[in-house]
Amino acid sequence: MTRFIACSSVVLDRSYFKDFSIRDVFPAKRGEDFLAWSDCLLKCKEAVRLPKTLLLYTIMKKSRSSSKTSGAISVFIIYYRVEGISMVKSCFHFIVYSAFSCLKMIWQKPSKPFDIKSIIR
């Protein structure tokens, strides 16, 4: 129900995930990565988040990642239509997902601006 590990930074052991694939999320428009990592967690039951920054990225105004509303709607559609979870459970999962997403924006917000040139050498 939450994504505290950035999908862009996921590393999988291919010996354990030999048949890994990303499923279609239709009718959702986004969320392939969310569903893929959910599938991985269902299989292995555990993930580890390293306590350091592994990646930085920029979200452009018109990019797929820029609309949090569209992403949230896609997550609900994945719960309800793709995974076939009941409406009540889908709503519950979506509320938890939304609450953690809001908290994550607060927790992970940089405390001060940084210069990317100081990171890249």
At 50-71, the pLDDT tens digits run 777 777 767 677 877 777 888 8
Distances (CA, A) of 40 to 21, 35, 75: 10, 9, 16
71-86-68 Cα angle (round to 5): 10
Q: Is residue 111's pLDDT more than 70?
A: no
Q: Is residue 116's pLDDT more than 70?
A: no
Going from N- to C-terminal start, the domains of the chain cover 8-110
Mean pLDDT of the chain: 80
**Would you state the structure tokens that stand for residue 56, as one six-digit string?**
């930085």
Rounded to 10 degrees, what is the CA torsion of 3, 65, 52, 93?
A: -10
